[in-house]
Amino acid sequence: MPLDLEEQEQVDQLKAFWAKYRNIITSVLTAALVIYAGFSGYQWWRNNQAIEASKLYNTLVTSIGKGDKEQTLRAADDLEKQYSGTTYASMASLVAAKVSADSGNTDKAIDYLRWTADHASNDAYEALGKLRLVTQLIERGTAKDFAEADDLLKDKPVKGFEALWLERRGDWYLAQQKITDAKKSYEAAWKQLDQTKEFPEEGRRLLKVKLDAVGGVTQ
């Protein structure tokens, strides 16, 4: 059926609009499809990474149960190399650090904790990595170790870890026989705990022991 004049005019306007803007429209649609495809691909990649990382982490847990230190550390190393962006890699490095420290290999433990501090998948694991790294550095006790620990403690504490940061600073002072400074840091940590009700009771008791050892809370 032939179009009337008004309909024909609308068709002509549509054709003119398309002729003028089709390249732009096509480019925008193509870009949108590319972005969507890229996002979908990234999500698939992330999910796949998490699944594969979880399998490797299960291997690590099984190895710990068997007392297989070599397999435990190998699984942790593989997680660091292949799945560094996952939470499993951060957890594995913390576990591997403890296994290494318990077996007397402080240097290896420090290497794992440095990795966690630098590559942790979230703030909480980064904080744990730094705090445990400070502890290992203090225990090793060279001038270089104390300097590195000092630098770590100068970082702004992750929210919720303020008391532990102050406690580690107290440990840092105490290891160098700076009793007055250690006491001030422990006292500041103790006061901070009053604002952190969910802090583990075991942690409170340990801090109290440290504080009592340097003279207790100043009244």
Q: What is the pTM of this model?
A: 0.75
What are the tokens at 181? 């400074």
Contacts of 18 (CB under 8 A, 6+ apart): 25
Q: How many C-beta atoms surround the C-beta of residue 151 within 10 A? A: 11
Residue 154 predicted with pLDDT over 50: yes
DSSP character for 39?
Answer: H
| pLDDT score for 74 | 93
Domains of the chain: 13-126 (1.25.40)
What are the tokens at 76? 């942790």
pLDDT band at residue 98 using 50, 70 and 90 as cut-offs = very high
Residue 196 predicted with pLDDT over 70: no
pLDDT band at residue 39 using 50, 70 and 90 as cut-offs = very low
| pLDDT score for 45 | 45
| pLDDT score for 28 | 58
Instruction: Look over the chain and give the mean of its residue pLDDT values, rounded to a whole number.
Output: 82
Phi, psi of 118 (to 5 degrees): -90, -25
- pLDDT above 70 coverage of the chain, percent: 74
Q: Compute the average pLDDT of residues 112-135.
A: 92
| 128-132, 148-152, 156-160: segment of lowest average pLDDT | 156-160
